[in-house]
Amino acid sequence: MPRSEHEGGPATLEATEPQTGAEARPSAASAPTDPHGPRRPWLLLGAALACVAFAGLSVAFLLPSTPSYDPWAWIVWGREIDHGVLHTGLGPSWKPGPVLLTTIFGLAAGLGPSLWLLAARAAGLLALLAAYRLGERLAGRWAGAIAALGLLLTEGWLGLLARGASEPALVGLVLGSVLCHLEGRRRAAFGLAVAAALIRPEVWPFLGLYTIWLWFREPRRFRWVLVGGLALIPLLWIGPPWIGAGDPLNASTHAARYNGHLGDNPALEALRRGVGLAVLPVLLLGLAAVVRAVRVRDRVALALAGGALAWLALVVVMSAIAFPGLPRFMLPAAALWCVLAGAGAVHVVRLGRGPLGVALAVALVAVAVPLCLHRAELLGNQARSARSAHDQFAQLTLAIGRSGGRRRILRCSPRRVGVNHALQTALAWKLDTPLRRVRPVMRGSGWAFSAGRRARLGAGPKFAFAPTKLVPIADAGPWRVEAVFAGRDRPARPGCPA
């Protein structure tokens, strides 16, 4: 394996602890060791358990919220699979990794949403821990702390974490896979990479290259694991949508319908979004780490930089082809750059000795803090938005109850229920019905849920016809429920509005 240096001393891509020129240089053939890792597994295990416990506290007390659009769909699909059916024709793109978990969580009665939030937040917190560990391996504990802080300040991180998005978990899997490889645990690295490939297709080329490398490095008996792991990816990405929608390429078909408001130059806009994910100090310090890595031939840092830039380039190219270039798709690239930034900060300070080093550290903090203040303030906005989503969902639940509950709504609106696109999947969950019954565009009589002109909820469903009659049913907070009739259509069932 290639070797990497720390302050003049080499370390392999599988080896580990930052070394100085004064330290003994391990041979390339020596087994990888890490004084901060294998000697204290209990500490890492405790930190991981603390992440899970803190995630549970956040879901229950500290930051109650509700899943966002995509996670609600995965939760609905998981419940459907538990009941022996699957309808994926509407909703977001299919993602097998999250649905595997929501299928398991669906067995716990109505706890599926809470369990998903718990899992997603725990995985995101573990991603911060992995960023710390990688930074620590490159340049010590301060580098690890800066890497984790940089990741926390990445645009939208807390909001995605609070609402159960899959990208923070993806970051955790990617960083965890890199960390396992550097520690010599290649099989664990492969397993985490396969899990990441079940969340985002951008992982596939990296996993393919790593599999080829493992094919020639690992014992022959492990090749069956490699083949099986790779076989899972097309099976789970293509099989369920083929069954649930009749379209094996359902995920890419859905993604191609929405370009993420990329404008006239999708590739350039996607690149701008990707670069803007990290705060300016992280970008500059990461660049400093790359410059140093080139100078001292630090192959670990160069590999991380190459991986970050390759991921960013892949998303940009996919955006140019017609796929959405949403910022969250580029989070793994930003996370790797945060790790480099942590190392870069330490290396900048190490340029000085004694008082000069202290002065450099103070100057670095004095320059970086003002540039990060705005992003830190946005963390509060993201937390408030997450709490607001929780309150709005509670009010939606109340509106359903005041309308007579699920049975009355579905009995009196056999065609469909209408709601704004953002709440389509959440309402489908509450009504225990497939996404095809809840539409953002109503094409016939049914029940319409609207919330005025609230920015995050929208004005309500659109109508593909001119309603002849609107019958108010119930109100709850911003929500208003109405029975909508087309032409002379009237429900004949007793107890239904007419």
Q: Give the pLDDT of residue 27.
A: 37
**Taking the model in full, what pTM does it have?**
0.89
Which of 53-57, 118-122, 287-291, 483-487 has the weakest average pLDDT?
483-487
Residue 369 lies in a domain: no
Q: Give the pLDDT of residue 475.
A: 93
Q: Give the pLDDT of residue 14.
A: 46
The CA-atom distances, in angstroms, between 444 and each of 50, 437, 469 are 51, 12, 12
Residue 303 lies in a domain: no
Spatial separation of the C-alpha atoms in residues 438 and 412, rounded to whole Å: 14
Query: Sign of the CA dihedral 65, 68, 73, 74?
Result: negative
| Most distant pair of Cα atoms in the chain: their distance | 88
The closest of 182, 144, 140 to 15, measured between CA atoms, is 182
Q: What are the phi and psi torsion angles at 156 (to 5°)?
A: 80, 5
Q: Give the pLDDT of residue 32.
A: 43
Last residue of a domain, one of 236, 254, 272: 254
Q: Give the pLDDT of residue 7.
A: 40
Mean pLDDT (the chain, rounded): 87
Is residue 179 packed enough to be buried (19+ CB in 10 Å), middle (13-18) or exposed (0-12)?
buried
Residue 297 lies in a domain: no
pLDDT digits (tens, 9 = 90+) for 122-158: 999 999 999 999 999 999 999 999 999 999 999 999 9
The CA-atom distances, in angstroms, between 455 and each of 392, 463, 478 are 12, 19, 11
pLDDT digits (tens, 9 = 90+) for 306-321: 999 999 999 999 988 8
Tell me if residue 489 falls in helix, strand or coil.
coil
The CA-atom distances, in angstroms, between 385 and each of 159, 377, 455 are 8, 13, 11
**Residue 182 scores a pLDDT above 70:** yes
Residue 386 lies in a domain: no
The CA-atom distances, in angstroms, between 134 and each of 16, 43, 149, 243, 256 are 9, 16, 13, 41, 35
The CA-atom distances, in angstroms, between 348 and each of 149, 157, 284, 365, 393 are 18, 27, 11, 12, 48
Spatial separation of the C-alpha atoms in residues 94 and 201, rounded to whole Å: 11
Residue 381 lies in a domain: no
Q: What are the phi and psi torsion angles at 490 (to 5°)?
A: -140, 135
Q: Give the pLDDT of residue 240.
A: 92
What's the number of domains the chain is made of? 2
Last residue of a domain, one of 200, 234, 254: 254
Last residue of a domain, one of 254, 273, 308: 254
Residue 451 lies in a domain: yes
Q: Give the pLDDT of residue 30.
A: 35
Residue 85 lies in a domain: yes
Containing domain of residue 437, as a range? 394-485
pLDDT digits (tens, 9 = 90+) for 183-219: 999 999 999 999 999 999 999 999 999 999 999 999 9
Q: The tokens of 335 are what?
A: 């996370």
Average pLDDT over residues 71-88: 94
Tell me if residue 159 falls in helix, strand or coil.
helix
Residue 78 lies in a domain: yes
Q: Give the pLDDT of residue 132.
A: 96
- Helix locations, 413-470, DSSP H: 424-431
Which of 102-106, 253-257, 353-357, 394-398 has the weakest average pLDDT?
253-257
